[in-house]
Structures are given as structure tokens and as C-alpha cells.
């Protein structure tokens, strides 16, 4: 399609095809990922970590999500742009969720939102969808709830886990969610959930059995060094590439070899 919509993600699942999703927080990377064919761009509240330098996603505000989403929408021509509802912008009521979702669509121009929460948030999903805001539900490990969940840990383990995760996904689908994202869920559980809902699923740390896969771009491209979550595959080492380039620039400046004559103007 010339422009990916939620119906195209549904068609992909119906026809047994997968799709890729990547975070983006600015117009240049959005354009780059869009040109590379990535079907869905997520303006994740991970912007709190990756761009703003916070230790978690919790401090991210709706105003900040609107700003970063605006940039991503400007850079994307083909991908479906989805924005996260940040912590504190939607939980209190379905009405609060609608107000937040409408702002992201109206002011930033995103085509859908993602919202963390299980079946306890089904009414929020229904209200958003009724208002014209498509919702990607996010279950399993939900980072905004890290202090309730006891830290970063795999969800959906143990007895009855498949039944519980499936019931959550089904309730959210029933409420109108166009997709269900699962984070840090055992691969067999995620695959069972994908098989038991009609809508497409997206996984991060959820194995190969979901319809789509998402990663945070700075993790995937190796922009940062240090310990990566188990579910990250690094497709490049941008930290080394950029670090080497910056060191070369600085060395040239200090020894006087940059700028060369061709970088200057004649009078
Ligand atoms: O904020 C984010 O980047 C996300 C994905 C990792 C799923 O929610
Ligand atoms: Na997020």
C-alpha cells in the first residue's frame, strides 16, 4: 500500500505475512526507516530513555509525545505512525484516554496510539476506538507499571499463563484494539495468543510466533554500548562508527588538517 493503515496489518496476518515495526523519535530517522520499508513506526515513550536521558519512561509527558510524534509524522510518508500514550495521560478514565489520543492524532497527526494495560483497560480501548482513535494494546511486561510488577521481568510464566494472557488479548480485541503487542512473554505463550486472536500481534522479547516484531532503534543499531536485553539483536554498531568519526574530526581540528582549502570560501 502507498500508506500503511491498520487494515493492512490485519490483511498481513490474514495472509500469513509478517511486518516490522521500529521506534522513531525524529523526522530524519523516521524518513530513513520509512524508506527502508518498515511498515510501522512507533513513537515510543522509550523516548524518555533514548532521547531525554531519563532512567525510565515514567517522566515522559503528553506534550513531549506530541512534539516527538509531530517530527516523526513529518518524516514518514508510507509507514503507519503509532504513538504511545505516556504514563499519567490515560489511566484515570476512558475520557482521559480519549482526550490524550485525540491530541496525538489532531496535533501530531499520528494514525493510532499504543496503550499499556490488560483487560482492566478494555473500556479505555472501547472509548478510544469509538472516538476514532485506533488502539494497539500493550500487554505482558508494561514498563510504565515496573513499580507494581517488581522490575523488569518476564510476564506470563507459570500455571495458567496461556489462559490468562489469551483472556487479556481477547478482551482487548473484543473492545476494539486493532493489534496486541506483547513484551517479555515466553515464546510459546505469545504464539498461543497470536493463534487465539484475529487481530495481528507484535512482539518484543516474545519469540517468533507474533505477526510483527518491534525493537528500539538505538538498541537495534547499536547506538549505545553496554548490556542489552536478551531480546535485542544488533544489526549495526553505530556507537563505534560514530565514535570513530567524531574522534577523527577532533584530531583533524586539533592538528589543523580540517578544514582543508576545499572547505573554505574564496574572497
Ligand atoms: O516505548 C517503546 O519503545 C515501546 C516498545 C519497546 C514496545 O513501547
Ligand atoms: Na512504550
What is the secondary structure of 83-111 as a DSSP string?
A: EEPPTTSSTT-HHHHHHHHHHIIIII--S
Provide the mean pLDDT of the chain: 98
220 lines ligand 1 (CB under 6 A): no
User: Taking residues 20-33, what's their average pLDDT?
Assistant: 98
> Does residue 89 lie in a domain region?
yes
**Which ligand number lies closest to the CA of residue 184?**
1
84 lines ligand 1 (CB under 6 A): yes
> Does residue 197 lie in a domain region?
yes
Percentage of residues in the chain having pLDDT higher than 90:
99
134 lines ligand 1 (CB under 6 A): no
What pLDDT, on the 0 to 100 scale, is given for residue 22? 98
Closest of 118, 42, 35 to residue 73, by C-alpha: 42
Whole-number Å distance, alpha carbon 119 to ligand 1 midpoint, is: 19
Taking only the tens place, the pLDDT of each residue in 124-172 is 999 999 999 999 999 999 999 999 999 999 999 999 999 999 999 999 9
> Does residue 243 lie in a domain region?
no
E strands present in the chain: 19-23, 40-43, 80-84, 112-116, 135-140, 179-183, 201-204, 212-215
Say whether the ipTM exceeds 0.95.
yes
**What is the atom index within ligand 1 of the atom nearest the CA of 44?**
1
44 lines ligand 1 (CB under 6 A): yes
> Does residue 255 lie in a domain region?
no
Does the pTM surpass 0.95? The reply is: yes
Closest CA to ligand 1's atom 1: 44
State how far the Cα of 38 lies from the Cα of 19, in Å rounded to an integer.
Answer: 8
Taking only the tens place, the pLDDT of each residue in 58-70 is 999 999 999 999 9
User: Taking residues 184-203, what's their average pLDDT?
Assistant: 98
Reduced to 3 states (helix: H, G, I; strand: E, B; else coil), residue 22 is strand
List CB contacts of 176: < 8 A, sequence separation 6 or more.
125, 126, 128, 129, 130, 135
What pLDDT, on the 0 to 100 scale, is given for residue 73? 99
List CB contacts of 224: < 8 A, sequence separation 6 or more.
218, 239
Taking only the tens place, the pLDDT of each residue in 204-223 is 999 999 999 999 999 999 99
What is the total count of domains within the chain? 1
User: Taking residues 216-242, what's their average pLDDT?
Assistant: 96
Q: Which residues are catalytic?
A: 183
> Does residue 253 lie in a domain region?
no
**What is the atom index within ligand 1 of the atom nearest the CA of 23?**
3
Taking only the tens place, the pLDDT of each residue in 157-167 is 999 999 999 99
CATH number at residue 14: 3.20.20.60
State how far the Cα of 130 lies from the Cα of 152, in Å rounded to an integer.
Answer: 33
Closest CA to ligand 1's atom 5: 44
List CB contacts of 131: < 8 A, sequence separation 6 or more.
98, 101, 102
- How many other CB atoms are found less than 10 A from the CB of residue 232? 16
What pLDDT, on the 0 to 100 scale, is given for residue 91? 98
State how far the Cα of 205 lies from the Cα of 200, in Å rounded to an integer.
Answer: 16
> Does residue 75 lie in a domain region?
yes
Ion ligand 2 nearby residues (CB, 5 A) = 44-45, 84
| Domain that residue 206 falls in | 6-237
> Does residue 195 lie in a domain region?
yes
115 lines ligand 1 (CB under 6 A): no
> Does residue 27 lie in a domain region?
yes
Band the pLDDT of 123: cuts 50, 70, 90: very high
Amino acid at each position: 500500500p502507498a500508506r500503511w493503515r491498520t487494515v493492512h496489518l490485519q490483511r498481513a496476518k490474514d495472509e500469513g505475512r509478517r511486518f516490522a515495526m521500529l521506534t522513531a523519535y525524529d523526522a530524519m530517522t523516521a524518513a530513513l526507516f520509512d524508506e527502508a520499508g518498515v511498515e510501522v513506526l512507533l513513537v515510543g515513550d522509550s523516548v524518555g530513555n533514548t532521547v531525554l536521558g531519563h532512567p525510565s519512561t515514567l517522566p515522559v509527558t503528553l506534550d513531549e509525545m506530541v512534539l516527538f510524534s509531530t517530527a516523526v509524522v513529518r518524516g514518514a510518508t508510507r509507514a503507519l505512525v503509532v504513538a504511545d500514550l505516556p504514563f499519567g495521560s490515560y489511566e484515570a478514565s476512558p475520557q482521559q484516554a480519549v482526550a490524550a489520543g485525540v491530541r496525538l492524532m489532531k496535533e501530531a497527526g499520528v494514525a493510532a496510539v499504543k496503550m499499556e494495560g490488560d483487560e482492566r483497560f478494555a473500556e479505555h480501548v472501547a472509548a478510544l476506538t469509538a472516538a476514532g482513535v485506533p488502539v494497539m494494546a500493550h500487554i505482558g511486561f508494561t514498563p510504565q507499571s515496573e513499580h507494581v510488577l517488581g522490575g523488569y521481568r518476564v510476564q506470563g510464566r507459570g500455571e495458567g499463563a496461556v489462559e490468562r494472557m489469551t483472556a487479556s488479548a481477547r478482551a482487548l480485541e473484543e473492545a476494539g484494539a486493532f493489534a496486541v503487542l506483547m513484551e517479555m512473554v515466553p515464546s510459546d505463550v505469545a504464539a498461543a495468543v497470536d493463534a487465539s486472536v484475529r487481530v495481528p500481534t507484535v512482539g518484543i522479547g516474545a519469540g517468533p510466533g507474533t505477526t510483527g516484531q518491534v525493537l528500539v532503534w538505538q538498541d537495534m543499531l547499536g547506538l549505545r554500548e553496554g548490556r542489552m536485553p536478551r531480546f535485542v539483536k544488533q544489526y549495526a554498531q553505530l556507537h563505534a562508527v560514530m565514535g570513530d568519526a567524531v574522534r577523527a574530526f577532533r584530531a583533524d581540528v586539533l592538528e589543523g588538517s580540517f578544514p582543508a582549502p576545499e572547505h573554505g570560501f574564496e574572497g
